[in-house]
Amino acid sequence: MGLIIMHYIYMEGIVIKSRKKKIIISVLIFVSILIVLWSTGLIGLWENGISYIANNTKQFNDLQSHIIEGNYSVSIDLSNLESNLGKELYNDGIHRIYVSYVGNTGDINSGGYRIGFRASGQYSLTKATLISGEHHATLGDKSVTNTMSAKMTAEYNGKTYTSSEMGMSGLNYKDGDDFSFYIFPTEAYEKNEISLNEKGIVHLTVTNLFENIWSKQ
């Protein structure tokens, strides 16, 4: 009986050691995979997208970035602001700019009608591109800044107005950014050419879109 118990204990010890060995091997494999993913940049790319590439100024540059020629238009229904969401300003099959927000503050002092655009691009371990209303520029070796390149006009009731910049983001999304305009200038409201309760269609035209290109040095 004693021999049987000792044999059982011995076999249990072997099983436990085998399990521990398998656990240790699994942990080592998992850690090795993480190290490989981190060293190749896959984890950073997965977590941050384009900004991971843009902020990596030691390995990537933006020397090929440039203004895109041409006029790009979208029509906005002022009688139903939400119906405009998703309308496309630009789409080349890879890059896309679409309406993400249309609002009316109800007060000319806070801008009245305004519109926001969302821009999305593509990214990989070797390159990232984004066509937007913003230029994301590399400054020196460590910093990145953004400036509005796009200009917008609004055609309504036979008149064309110059829209003013409202705001812009950094590379806040994994695949891009967003930028916005006040649709009509304050003077148009003050002259009673535009009210805060319009029901027509305004035709917006955007120029000076910018193709941001980050390539490996």
- What residue has token string 């044999």? 7
Residue 28 predicted with pLDDT over 50: no
**Confidence tier at 120 by pLDDT (50, 70, 90):** very high
Contact 156, 146 (CB under 8 A): no
Bridge partners for 129 per DSSP: 122, 213
In this prediction, residue 29 carries a pLDDT of 45
In this prediction, residue 34 carries a pLDDT of 43
Residue 58 predicted with pLDDT over 80: yes
pTM of the model: 0.81
Residue 18 predicted with pLDDT over 80: no
Mean pLDDT for the stretch of residues 18-30? 52
Mean pLDDT for the stretch of residues 49-54? 93
In this prediction, residue 20 carries a pLDDT of 58
Mean pLDDT for the stretch of residues 22-40? 46
Mean pLDDT for the stretch of residues 133-142? 83
pLDDT, tens digit, for every residue of 154-180?
999 999 999 999 999 999 999 999 999
Q: Which residues of 117-155 are buried (b: 16+ CB within 10 A; e: fewer)?
A: bbbbbebeeeebbbbbbbbbebeeeeebebebbbbbbbe
Domain locations in the chain as residue ranges: 2-40, 50-216
Task: Round to whole Å and give the CA distance between 49 and 54.
Answer: 9
Task: Round to whole Å and give the CA distance between 22 and 44.
Answer: 30
Contacts of 61 (CB under 8 A, 6+ apart): 138, 214, 215, 217
Q: Percentage of the chain surpassing pLDDT 90?
A: 71
**Confidence tier at 31 by pLDDT (50, 70, 90):** very low
Mean pLDDT of the chain: 86
Contact 50, 62 (CB under 8 A): no
Mean pLDDT for the stretch of residues 136-142? 77
In this prediction, residue 142 carries a pLDDT of 60
In this prediction, residue 24 carries a pLDDT of 54
